[in-house]
Amino acid sequence: MADGITGRRRARGRHGGVARQQWPVTPFLELNPERIKLVLLIAAPLLLALAAWYGWFKPGSLGDASRKPTRSAGLHATTTWFLAAAGLFAAQVFGAAALLGVIGMDASGATAEAGGEAAFRKYAVSTLAVYALVTPAALGVMWFLARGPTLGGSGSGGGKDLRLAWGDWWRGLGWSLAVLPIVTAVSWASVQVAGAITGSPPDMLAHQTLKMLTEHRESPWMWALIAAVVIGAPVFEEVFYRGLLQTAMVRATGSPWIAVLSVSVGFAIMHNGVAQPHALPVLLALSVAMGVLYERTGSLMVPVMVHVAFNAFNIAMALHAVG
């Protein structure tokens, strides 16, 4: 398989026997990360032009202070949304530390540098344990806010857009096909700028987790880390950033655009350290896309699935490129 995909057909030989003949199938059918990136780069401006044609980037396209928010931001007072986000953040920080202490690990396991098998096992187990704790907590908070007693105002959406509608997974995957070319184009531009500034190409594995996965691809603990990154992280982060913080900002400002942009800046900044600087514009673009989709679709499942697809795609490309 390393030297290409081939096709085969049987042909009659001179003496009536069956001879086997081979010919190369077009190399475009091979799983080539560079070729995939080229296709995505070509698709990105076309998708952006289409979005502009339909008015997606107009200042009032997501609603503004003169119109009621399209989602359930009015179910609760502004302080309720911010307090819920603060409580979930505290659960992640302090609850995760307590859980790691119970299972005999310290919090450094979640930020350990790449090392031997023991270090990777600690990193994988601690990361999975943290998301096993905070992801159900995040879903519980959203369930309560959607169905619990309202503390201020009432939302016309009835809180449905605060819960994960599992039937919307296909919509999220469909939108991920539109988002992926755009973030790939931003990634390409960011790499070019970083290379021009530093004088050398930046590391293509721009996230600590990707490096650890590629260095320990034979470890059975790799799958625990992949499960945490592809499932746990998207659900928790989308509930926290989109479901709580973005809704809080919509409630506070009356402008979904201000909410999307401000939360997206925070999303990128919070990844500083685990992601290299040239990867932060990519995360900013991804977050803006997910925030816009949440406002337009009214389904939290859509940004969750876009996040899932983004993480899974990056892991697959990293493992394939290094392997």
Please tell me whether residue 272 adopts helix, strand or coil conformation: strand
Q: How far is it, in rounded angstroms, from Cα 70 to Cα 203? A: 41
Tell me, letter by letter, the H, E, C secondary structure of 176-237.
HHHHHHHHHHHHHHHHHHHHHHHCCCCCCCCEHHHHHHHHCCCCCCHHHHHHHHHHHHHHHH
DSSP label at residue 7: E
**Domain annotation covers residue 5:** no
> Which pLDDT belongs to residue 6?
37
**Domain annotation covers residue 45:** yes
**Domain annotation covers residue 112:** yes
**pTM for this entry:** 0.82
Q: How far is it, in rounded angstroms, from Cα 162 to Cα 299? A: 7
* Low pLDDT (below 70) residues in the chain: 1-33, 57, 59-61, 63-70, 100, 103-115, 148-158, 322-323
Closest CA to 242 of 180, 200, 304: 304
**Domain annotation covers residue 71:** yes
Residues 109-136 as b or e (16 or more Cβ within 10 Å = b): bbebeeeeeeebbbbbbbbbbbbebbbe
> Which pLDDT belongs to residue 149?
61
Q: How far is it, in rounded angstroms, from Cα 74 to Cα 56? A: 24
Total domains present in the chain: 1
Consecutive H or E run containing 22: strand 18-24
Partners of residue 275 on adjacent β-strands: 207, 272
Please tell me whether residue 10 adopts helix, strand or coil conformation: strand
> Which pLDDT belongs to residue 18?
46
Whether the CB-CB separation of 306 and 168 falls below 8 Å is answered with: no
**Domain annotation covers residue 17:** no
**Domain annotation covers residue 29:** no
> Which pLDDT belongs to residue 70?
61
> Which pLDDT belongs to residue 162?
83
Q: How far is it, in rounded angstroms, from Cα 193 to Cα 199? A: 10
Tokens 């659900």: give the residue.
Answer: 235
Whether the CB-CB separation of 253 and 65 falls below 8 Å is answered with: yes
> Which pLDDT belongs to residue 158?
61
- What is the extent of the structural domain holding 273? 36-322
Q: How far is it, in rounded angstroms, from Cα 172 to Cα 170? A: 5
